[in-house]
């Protein structure tokens, strides 16, 4: 028996420490609470009561039926933009999206909650869950099971299709569930629901793994994972669940490497490269999270290996994403982009001012506005402050260490946040807003609060100090 196997057996046979038991309890608490929330959302809300069903539902159906790489055709939209249209053909019960209900996530949750209050008064014998959430559109969506299946092709005049907007891999979890349902002969509504379940299970697994490998702040990360909006997206057909779980796992793995203070193994480096590639496939702007790798101590990741990380990440992701983007991808603007670009060329200072103003005002423009939103925000802030206070009390920094070395992860996270917001607002400025009618201090439309959720794990870096800058190494698991 070799030494490595002996060490493994010793670890497995060792009695769990108090810290290990507490960490296990945090993971189990997250899984239970998140599972209960997710089950409630799946049971009470319709699968097509989400933002952008023409994007999410159609993309899932395209992946399931092997049409994700169907040829695209150039088309001039009503605003005069040249866009690429992908036609997909199939069962009308899926593609007509009967009963779909579009809205921002917070607006939908507030609507379901208000409707539950009205329904509980009208129907006192309704189900227990309907006292919390009630989606009146769910019944209409379920009625598709009683419709005759027709073979149709979309888009048509009354039905849009954006199945070529996101890279297909982000819909693999939902598509797997829908595919299983089709194979065993379930109804369309049941298949959508099964797609939600598989999407949620992958989120649950990846997020729980992130909590396990995170060296500290496990309880705070668990709180982030059970916020109502997080779980609603995780238990829906939306691709945002994949974005959030991949970004969270990336930050957790990076902080684990920083905490160890040891040379990063090749396997861990490969894991970070794979997660970086997935961030590119999710949404290009989120790849800015990879900047955190650049500030790891040289003892953990040398300059040479950082270059390897950048080069290999680009080689793994950019050719694949670039070819797909060049052949299939398209955006679907709500304004004339050429007119916006021409105006921006004549008024560059004004456009920069508009983007900067919107970036600086992003947090209060997207601030919580409903009761459940405010409650979740308060819980988030309290948990975050507790995490920061704990770090400051337990982990002491070296007196002669520069503040840049001490706070390099927090400073980098701030840079990442600003870069991502600038990129999002610059894009939204061109495709969502009529710039020629707006003043420099008008808020740019198009930003949604859900875009912030993959960035929430960056809060872990505030108050975080790695082993290289610490004087007190008494880290209690």
Query: Which tokens sit at 122?
Result: 């009208």
The pLDDT of residue 116 is 82
Query: Which tokens sit at 350?
Result: 């004004």
The pLDDT of residue 125 is 44
Determine the Cα–Cα distance for residues 225 and 68; give it in Å rounded to an integer. 30
**Alpha carbon separation from 426 to 44, 125, 241, 417 (Å, rounded):** 37, 51, 24, 14
Contact between 145 and 98 under an 8 Å Cβ cutoff? The reply is no
DSSP 8-state class, residue 329:
-
Quickly tell me which residue has 């684990």 as its tokens.
256
Specify the pairing of strand 88-91 against strand 151-154: antiparallel
- Sign of the alpha-carbon torsion through 428, 429, 431, 434: positive
The pLDDT of residue 113 is 85
Other CB atoms within a 10 A radius of the CB of residue 135 amount to 23
3-state secondary structure at position 77: coil
Number of H helices, E strands in the chain: 20, 4
- Sign of the alpha-carbon torsion through 100, 101, 104, 108: negative
- Give per-residue pLDDT as tens, 363-402: 777 777 777 778 888 888 999 898 888 877 776 666 666 6
The pLDDT of residue 467 is 62
Distance between start and end Cα atoms, the chain:
30
Question: For residue 155, is the peptide bond before it cis, meaning its omega torsion is within 30 degrees of 0?
Answer: yes
The pLDDT of residue 259 is 87
The pLDDT of residue 120 is 63
Other CB atoms within a 10 A radius of the CB of residue 308 amount to 15
Quickly tell me which residue has 């019960």 as its tokens.
93
The pLDDT of residue 457 is 95
Contact between 281 and 167 under an 8 Å Cβ cutoff? The reply is yes
Contact between 353 and 448 under an 8 Å Cβ cutoff? The reply is no
Q: Is 10 exposed, middle or buried (0-12, 13-18, 19+ CB in 10 A)?
A: exposed
Q: Is 422 exposed, middle or buried (0-12, 13-18, 19+ CB in 10 A)?
A: middle
Q: Is 393 exposed, middle or buried (0-12, 13-18, 19+ CB in 10 A)?
A: exposed
Q: Which residues of the chain have pLDDT under 50?
A: 11, 124-126, 128, 471-477
Bridge partners for 154 per DSSP: 88
Contact between 270 and 226 under an 8 Å Cβ cutoff? The reply is no
Query: Which helix (H) or strand (E) covers residue 278, if one does?
Result: helix 266-282
446: left (phi over 0), alpha (psi -120 to 50) or beta: left
């Amino acid at each position: 028996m070799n030494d490595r196997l002996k060490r493994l057996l010793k670890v497995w046979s060792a009695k769990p420490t108090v810290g290990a038991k507490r960490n296990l309890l945090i993971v189990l608490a997250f899984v239970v609470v998140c599972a209960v929330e997710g089950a409630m959302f799946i049971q009470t809300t319709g699968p097509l009561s989400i933002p952008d069903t023409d994007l999410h539902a159609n993309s899932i159906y395209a992946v399931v039926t092997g049409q994700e790489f169907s040829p695209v055709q150039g088309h001039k939209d009503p605003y005069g933009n040249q866009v690429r249209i992908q036609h997909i053909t199939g069962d009308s019960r899926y593609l007509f999206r009967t009963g779909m209900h579009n809205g921002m996530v917070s607006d939908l949750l507030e609507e379901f909650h208000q409707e539950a209050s009205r329904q509980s008064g009208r129907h006192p014998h309704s189900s227990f869950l309907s006292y919390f959430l009630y989606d009146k559109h769910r019944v209409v969506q379920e009625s598709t099971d009683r419709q005759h299946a027709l073979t149709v092709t979309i888009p048509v005049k009354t039905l849009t299709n954006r199945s070529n907007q996101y890279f297909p891999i982000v819909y693999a979890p939902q598509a797997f569930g829908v595919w299983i349902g089709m194979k065993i002969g379930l109804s369309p509504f049941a298949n959508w629901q099964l797609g939600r379940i598989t999407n949620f299970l992958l989120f649950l697994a990846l997020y729980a793994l992130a909590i396990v490998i995170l060296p500290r702040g496990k309880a705070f990360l668990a709180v982030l994972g059970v916020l109502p909006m997080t779980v609603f997206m995780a238990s829906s057909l939306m691709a945002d669940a994949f974005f959030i779980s991949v970004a969270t796992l990336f930050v957790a793995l990076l902080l684990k490497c920083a905490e160890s203070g040891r040379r990063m193994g090749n396997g861990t480096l490969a894991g970070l490269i794979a997660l970086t590639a997935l961030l590119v496939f999710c949404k290009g702007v989120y790849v800015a999270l990879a900047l955190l790798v650049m500030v790891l101590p040289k003892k953990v990741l040398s300059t040479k290996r950082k270059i390897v990380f950048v080069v290999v990440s680009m080689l793994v992701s950019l050719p694949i994403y670039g070819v797909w983007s060049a052949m299939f991808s398209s955006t679907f603007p709500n304004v004339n982009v050429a007119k916006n670009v021409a105006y921006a060329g004549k008024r560059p200072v004004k456009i920069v001012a508009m983007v900067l103003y919107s970036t600086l005002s992003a947090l209060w423009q997207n601030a919580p506005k409903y009761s459940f939103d405010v409650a979740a925000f308060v819980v988030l802030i309290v948990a975050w402050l507790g995490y920061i206070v704990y770090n400051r009390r337990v982990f002491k920094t070296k007196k002669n260490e520069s503040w840049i070395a001490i706070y390099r992860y927090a400073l980098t996270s701030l840079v990442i946040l600003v870069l991502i917001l600038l990129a999002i607002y610059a894009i939204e400025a061109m495709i969502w807003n009529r710039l020629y009618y707006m003043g420099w201090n008008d808020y740019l439309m198009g930003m949604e609060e859900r875009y912030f959720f993959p960035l929430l794990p960056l809060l872990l870096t505030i108050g975080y100090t790695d082993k290289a800058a610490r004087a007190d190494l008494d880290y209690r698991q």
